[in-house]
Structure 1
Amino acid sequence: MDAMRAQQIVQSEDTIPVHLEGQSVWIEKVDTTNGMAAVHLEDNPNHKQTVPVDRLQEG
């Protein structure tokens, strides 16, 4: 995924599934300049991490 698509997902009113290494995640915010995204696991909102957006997969 690229940073612009990640930002579109964050701004969308729809729920768009996103995965990180096979785990469902929610994107909290996107740093489009550096290509990074703050995410948390869907089933564990306290487990937050910042990852490169190219590690995220839609669907």
Structure 2
Amino acid sequence: MEAKRVKQILSSAADIEVKYNGVSVWIDQLNEDGRTATVHLRGPLEERSTVEINELIEG
């Protein structure tokens, strides 16, 4: 995924599914380096991880 699309998803009111390693995640923020994002799993666990945005897949 590109940084521009991450920003669009973050600003959207829609529920846009994003997957990381086949698991559905919420994007919390695009990090300042523009290459990584902070995400957490959808569901009760809110453990946050920093991941490379090129590993995020929409849909």
The 4+ residue runs of structure 1 with deviation greater than 4 A are: none
2:47 aligned counterpart, secondary structure: strand
Instruction: Determine if contact 1:37/1:50 at 8 Å carries over to the other structure.
Output: yes
TM-score, normalisation: structure 1:
0.89
The Cα shift of 1:35 comes to 1.2
Q: 1:46: which partner in 2?
A: 46
The Cα shift of 1:18 comes to 0.2
Unaligned runs of 5+ residues in structure 2 are none
C-alpha distance after superposition, 1:7-58 (max 9, x if no partner): 1101001110000000000000012643111000002442110111001000
Against the structure 1 CA distance between its residues 45 and 30, is the aligned structure 2 distance closer, same or farther, given a 3 Å change threshold? farther
Structure 2 distance, partners of 1:52, 1:3, is 10
Identity of aligned residues (%): 37
Unaligned runs of 5+ residues in structure 1 are none
TM-score, normalisation: structure 2:
0.89
